[in-house]
Structure 1
Amino acid sequence: MSIPATFHDLNGKSVFITGGGSGIGASLTDGFLAQGAKVAFVQRSDASEFCDEMEAKHGVRPLFIPCDITDMAALKSAIDHAAETHGAIEVLVNNAANDKRHAVEDVTEEFWDWMQAINLKAYFFAAQAVVPAMKAAGKGTIINFTSISYMMGNAGYPLYTTANAGLNGMTRSLARDLGASNIRVNALAPGWVLTQKQLDLWADPISLASHLERLCLKEHLVPEDIVGGVLFLASDVSRMMTGQTMVIDGGVVVTG
């Protein structure tokens, strides 16, 4: 799926994506490269084969930096490495997340801390790491991935929905704190996107059919469906949009 639009101002931009080598993140890396951006990304698993594919497709290789984003020092180091290679980060996409299912009774302090580190804490400290250079440049864009799951009050992963709700509050506050420096901060909340992980673990026929009934647009979302919204938020096309949450879910949240 190709994006039927060109965001000319993204050409040459230094973009940093967490979790940019698989799932939605891989489509984001692909999408930014197609716009001519310089993309660096982190994730725990090896993404060398994906980088080979992107280099063959776009003629330029994304910078893959192995990193566990629950290690804040390693995350900051990765951001510094990306800035040294591509120039100061102009667009930060906090995409990496973990929606591991869990029961209330089974949550330990260790699991709580791990889930919040991945789904909330890393987002703040990644933003903190890019802010000085964005302030120096007088411009920057931060995009935080959240989810419609907390809006819907979904069961089965209360720590994930807690982090999602926190991300929306953090997005609004950062937008206020950083707006005077012309740094825009927005959130993007996808619906149920059928990544390979979702297909492998939770997308059984009954669940898929039930979810499809709730969609206004009768087609399940795929990772490529999220790319256009992120490019829009990253581009100066949305230059006066900040502190907002964009929902891309096929029409579930507002309509039921």
Structure 2
Amino acid sequence: MSGNVTFHDLKDASVFITGGGAGIGASLTDGFMQQGAKVAFVQRSDASEFAEQMKEKHGVAPLFIKCDVTDVDALQAAIKQAEEAHGPVTVLVNNAANDTRHNLEEFTQDQWDASMNVNLRPHFFTAQAAAAGMKAAGGGSIINFSSISYMMGNAGYPAYETSKAAITGLTRALARELGPDNIRVNALMPGWVLTQRQKDLWATPEDLKAHLGRQCLKEHLEPDDIIEATLFLASKASRMMTSQALVIDGGVVVTG
């Protein structure tokens, strides 16, 4: 949860988050609710318990819509449901992703398509569904989660890295496309954030030590470290910032 800053304009804002019930997404839901935003989120798995925890914490529950983001029709219907409940979505956070490790030799065409369908395609079609409401509301902010993985040139998940690089390109295209309607589109580039999934599957002591050695700041990233940068991009505090890639990685890569 964000405890360092308050963005007053996010109070009562209609926020839609993909993958908002687990990992980084759960921290984002919590952070936006702390600001007083009206949050709707989709999650493929059952996040009812998490939604109830948020109700106990904030006095109001987020709108949880069970949805697989690879189902475009269901995803766009979820945005309509959120708009009916909270008004036009003015903050869209495309967070959901699957970074399962894979290699070049054994990866199939179906697996490639599945990776793009979860890691890239939803970013386009959520924007498509939310744009009209944002325009009617006088503007909005779209935040697309990319990753520094492709900037580092990591081995072990080439399809995932391809999708994350494409998200940066899509962000720039959408920023140009939607800018005349006062809709800002930015990419957020997290480093290695130690969600429970990362800790359970890939965060070996050796790899953690090696990665920390590449960071300027000698502290591993946790999901809460991503909240305030996301709030900033959502808020009018960043009102003239669009088509940008904001890195939060402890100082591993540079963009200038």
TM bracket (short chain): over 0.9
In the superposition, the TM-score normalised over structure 2's length comes to 0.98
Q: Could you say what secondary structure the match of 1:92 adopts? A: strand
- Structure 2: distance between partners of 1:135 and 1:105: 45
Corresponding residue of 1:46 = 46
Q: Could you say what secondary structure the match of 2:105 adopts? A: helix
Deviation for aligned residue 1:3: 2.5
Q: Percent identity?
A: 67
Deviation for aligned residue 1:138: 2.1
Does the Cα contact within 8 Å between 2:17 and 2:41 map onto a contact in 1? yes
1:116 matched to 2:150: no
Q: Could you say what secondary structure the match of 2:40 adopts? A: strand
Deviation for aligned residue 1:107: 1.4
1:192 matched to 2:185: no
Corresponding residue of 1:251 = 251
Deviation for aligned residue 1:254: 2.3
Corresponding residue of 1:19 = 19
Corresponding residue of 2:63 = 63
- Structure 2: distance between partners of 1:80 and 1:27: 23
More deviation in 130-139 or 199-208? 130-139
Corresponding residue of 2:157 = 157
Deviation for aligned residue 1:106: 1.2
Corresponding residue of 1:223 = 223
Corresponding residue of 2:88 = 88
- Structure 2: distance between partners of 1:113 and 1:233: 30
Which amino acid in structure 1 is aligned with residue 180 of structure 2? A
Corresponding residue of 1:172 = 172
Which amino acid in structure 1 is aligned with residue 208 of structure 2? L
- Structure 1: distance between partners of 2:2 and 2:239: 24
Corresponding residue of 1:97 = 97
Q: Structure 2: any 5+ residue segments left out of the alignment?
A: none
Does the Cα contact within 8 Å between 2:101 and 2:157 map onto a contact in 1? yes
In the superposition, the TM-score normalised over structure 1's length comes to 0.98
Cα 1:2–1:170, aligned 2, differ >3 Å: closer, same or farther? Answer: closer
Q: Could you say what secondary structure the match of 1:39 adopts? A: strand
Corresponding residue of 1:127 = 127
Q: Could you say what secondary structure the match of 2:222 adopts? A: coil
More deviation in 131-140 or 13-22? 131-140
Corresponding residue of 2:205 = 205
Does the Cα contact within 8 Å between 2:2 and 2:227 map onto a contact in 1? no
Does the Cα contact within 8 Å between 2:2 and 2:228 map onto a contact in 1? no
- Structure 2: distance between partners of 1:253 and 1:201: 24
- Structure 2: distance between partners of 1:70 and 1:55: 28
Deviation for aligned residue 1:129: 0.4
- Structure 2: distance between partners of 1:105 and 1:238: 43
1:54-92 CA-to-partner distances (Å, cap 9, x unmatched) read 111110100000000000001011111111111110100
Deviation for aligned residue 1:40: 0.3
- Structure 2: distance between partners of 1:3 and 1:192: 22
Does the Cα contact within 8 Å between 2:186 and 2:245 map onto a contact in 1? yes
Which amino acid in structure 2 is aligned with residue 194 of structure 1? L
More deviation in 231-240 or 45-54? 45-54
- Structure 2: distance between partners of 1:122 and 1:13: 22
